[in-house]
Structure formats: C-alpha cells, structure tokens
C-alpha cells in the first residue's frame, strides 16, 4: 500500500512539474509573440511616417545628416591639425636640443684635433722610450689608450647626432606637408558644409509647421551627439594623461624601490582577482573583447538596427545598434567600469530629447559604452559609481528620439563612436 501511495505522489509531482513547464513555455512563447508584434507594429508605423513625409522633408533630413557628417569630419580634422601642430613643435624642440649637443661635441672634437696637431702624434713607442720604468710605462700607456678611446667615442657621438638631426628634419617636413594637406581638406569640407546649409535652408522654407518641429528635433539630436562626443573625448584625454603620468611615476619608483614595486604589483593582482570573482551577474559568455550582451539571453543576432556611423547620410546617422525588446527589460553593464555619464536629456519644456535617459560607462581599457532611451527614472547608477559586469544599470524604455521600446547601445574609443558589433558576443 505504501508503495502505491509513493508512486501516486511521484505521478502527481510529475504532472505538476509538466504543467508548470508547459505554462512557463507558453508564457515565454506569448511574450515572444507580443514582442514580435510590437516590433512589426513599430516597423509599420515608421514606414507609414516615412510615406507621409513630403519630398521637401526627405531632402531636409538627408541634408541634416550630410551636414552632421561634415561637422563630425571637421571636428576630427581640427583635432588632427592640433595634434600635428603639437608634433611639429615637439620635433622642432628636439632638433634644437640635438643641434646644441652636436655643436658642443663638434667644438670639443675641434679642440682635441688642434691640440693633437700642435703636440704632434704620440705613438706607443714614444711612451715606452720616455718611461722611467715598467710602472711608468703602464701608467702612460693607459692614459694614451683612454684618450684614443675617448676620441673614437666622440666621433661616434657626433656621427649619431648628425644622423638623428637629419631624421628629425625629414620627419618635420613630412609633418608640415600633412598639416598643409589637412588644412586644405578643412577648407574643402567647409565649402561643402556651407553649400549643404544653403540648400537645406531653401527646402526648410517649404516644410509644414509639424515638419519644421521634426527637423528641429533631428538637428538637436545631432548637436547633442557632437556635444557628448566632445565631452567623452575630454574624459579620454584626461584619462590617457593621468595614465601616462602614473606610468612615469611607477617607472621612477621602480628604479629606486624595486622591492616596494614588487609588493605593489602583487597587491594589484590580488585586487583584480577579487574583482573578477565578485562579478556574479554575468549571464552570458563574454566575447573576445571581454563584453557580455547588455540584455540577458540575447546576442548580436538579436540586433534589429545596425551601425551606420556617419557614412551613409541618406540612411541616417546611426552611431550604435538597436535591440528591440519589451519595455522594462533590465539593461546590464557589458563590462566592469566607472560611470562617467548618467543623465536625462530634455527640452526646456521638460520633454525628453535625443538619447533621453542614458548612461556612459568607462571600462578603463580605452573603450566606453553608451546605453540610451531607457525608461523614465530607471537609471540605477550615478557618475563616479563603480559597476560590475552584468550589473543592472537601468530598464529598457523609449525616451528621447525613439519610435518604440528598444535599447540603443554604442561603443566609443577616445570618445568617438565605432561599430559595436565586433565587441559583442
């Protein structure tokens, strides 16, 4: 009888488990169907809006994208000009310094040659005959050898310095040529920019009031992206400078305190290991770049809109990737890092604009990641917070310049956006 009861209990538990599994599977299928339905509805809505646009609005949007591309290229060219000017200044200083060293060495060599000429050539036989004994000979022989070796080293130094000066001068000429070419590119790009702005103004006059509002929103978004890029570039530059200074200090300390340096290295390694083992929210295998996907259970196969950067103005300037998914889905940090931006972009009237609620994380490896359009008030981190890989930082929303629930995700290097797809698993 007990065996029968036991079997019955097991059967009941199995039935309940199967019912539970079936319910869970049904719920997941229903959720997936709902998400797919939302995506399809949004795609229809976007297509409908596109069809309703006037030809003038389509031209204006293309020109806005083109102008944004020109402005980004101009920013990059101006940065390049600044870098080249700094390099030229540094090269000129190096040439001046090396020239001073060369002049001193040449002056010393001239003095030595004059003295040798005036005194006549001294041979080792002269030293032998003019020595009072063997100790005196060894002493004089050593002095003559040292003089000869010193002169040889002096000649080698002069030859090396001259070669270095010639190389630096060649580099300087190349840098100046590149600077002139870059400046010419700026002038050409400015001409294209002005032409596009003039054409755009002509089309704007043909827009309806509603279309003018849409045009203003799009232009604001492009301006916001440029401002954000400039801010992140400053952060990247400051970080690179601090890193270089820290490395210089570490090398100086290592030269004088090797034991202390070894101790510091061990401590750092231990800290890093601890940090790695406490990342408990990782829900996927990291990519070769060490990133996980920002949405649990998803991969780059789930990307609904890809990266286009500023290379295709007719298609829009899309500096990241979009993943359409239900609103309220948790957004995770793809890697350990420090929050450098956590804010909401709004108009003066209080409405969301551009990226809406967004966060930027600096991963300390030269890359930063940006998470945008999150739901109102869902950001869970602030500037300066240390986050772990897999940590929930906010929830998927549709704030800002967004047409439906999705996560907009970007990867930035030195502040500028790059294609994030290769970084994701």
What is the pTM assigned to this prediction?
A: 0.59
Phi-psi region of 152 (alpha: psi -120 to 50; beta: other; left: phi over 0): alpha
Band of pLDDT at residue 5, cut at 50, 70 and 90: very low
pLDDT over 90 percentage in the chain: 29
Rg of the chain over CA atoms, in angstroms? 34
Sign of CA pseudo-dihedral 353, 356, 361, 365:
negative
Q: Is the pLDDT of residue 268 over 50?
A: no
If one compares 276 and 70, the residue with the highest pLDDT of the two is 70
| Cα–Cα distance, 358 to 342 (Å, whole number) | 6
Q: What does the pLDDT look like over 191-227, one tens digit per residue?
A: 888 888 888 888 887 888 888 888 888 889 888 998 9
| Cα–Cα distance, 118 to 23 (Å, whole number) | 108
Exposed (0-12), middle (13-18) or buried (19+): which is 163, by Cβ within 10 Å? exposed
The closest of 74, 77, 64, 72 to 416, measured between CA atoms, is: 72
Give the domain 208-257+283-423 fold.
Answer: Glucose Permease (Domain IIA) (2.70.70)
If one compares 272 and 157, the residue with the highest pLDDT of the two is 157
Q: Is the pLDDT of residue 117 over 80?
A: no
β-partners of residue 374 are 357, 396
C-beta of residue 368 within 8 angstroms of C-beta of residue 415: yes
Domain ranges across the chain: 87-204, 208-257+283-423
Q: How many residues are present in the chain?
A: 425
């Amino acid at each position: 009888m007990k065996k029968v009861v036991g079997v019955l209990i097991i059967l009941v538990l199995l039935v309940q488990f199967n019912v539970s599994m079936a319910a869970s599977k049904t719920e997941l299928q229903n959720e997936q169907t709902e998400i797919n339905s939302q995506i399809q509805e949004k795609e229809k809505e976007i297509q409908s809006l596109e069809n309703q646009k006037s030809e003038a609005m389509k031209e204006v949007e293309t020109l806005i994208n083109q102008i944004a591309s020109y402005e980004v290229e101009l920013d990059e060219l101006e940065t390049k000009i600044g870098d080249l000017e700094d390099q030229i200044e540094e090269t000129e200083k190096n040439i001046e310094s090396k020239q001073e060293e060369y002049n001193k060495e040449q002056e010393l060599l001239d003095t030595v040659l004059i003295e040798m000429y005036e005194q006549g050539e001294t041979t080792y036989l002269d030293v032998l005959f003019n020595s009072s004994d063997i100790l005196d000979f060894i002493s004089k022989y050593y002095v003559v050898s040292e003089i000869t070796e010193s002169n040889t080293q002096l000649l080698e130094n002069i030859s090396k310095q001259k070669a270095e000066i010639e190389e630096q001068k060649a580099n300087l000429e190349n840098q100046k040529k590149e600077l002139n070419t870059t400046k010419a590119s700026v002038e050409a790009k400015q001409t294209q920019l002005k032409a596009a702005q003039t054409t755009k103004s002509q089309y704007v006059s043909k827009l309806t009031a509603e279309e003018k509002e849409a045009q203003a929103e799009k232009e604001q978004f492009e301006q916001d992206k440029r401002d954000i890029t400039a801010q992140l570039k400053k952060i990247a530059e400051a970080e690179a400078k601090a890193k270089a200074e820290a490395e210089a200090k570490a090398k100086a300390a290592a030269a004088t305190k090797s034991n202390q340096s070894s101790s510091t290295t061990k401590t750092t390694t231990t800290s890093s290991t601890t940090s790695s083992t406490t990342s408990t929210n990782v829900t996927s295998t990291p990519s070769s770049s060490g990133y996980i996907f920002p949405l649990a259970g998803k991969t780059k196969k789930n990307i609904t809109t890809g990266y286009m950067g500023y290379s295709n103005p007719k298609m829009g300037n899309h500096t990241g990737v979009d993943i359409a998914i239900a609103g309220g889905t948790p957004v995770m940090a793809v890697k350990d890092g420090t929050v450098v931006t956590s804010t909401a972009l709004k108009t003066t009237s209080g409405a969301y604009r551009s990226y809406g609620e967004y966060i930027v994380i600096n991963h300390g490896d030269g890359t930063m990641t940006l998470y945008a359009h999150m739901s109102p008030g869902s950001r869970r981190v602030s500037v300066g917070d240390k986050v772990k890989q897999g940590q929930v930082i906010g929830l998927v929303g549709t704030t800002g310049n967004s047409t439906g629930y999705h996560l907009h995700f970007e990867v930035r290097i030195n502040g500028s956006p790059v294609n994030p797809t290769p970084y994701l698993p």
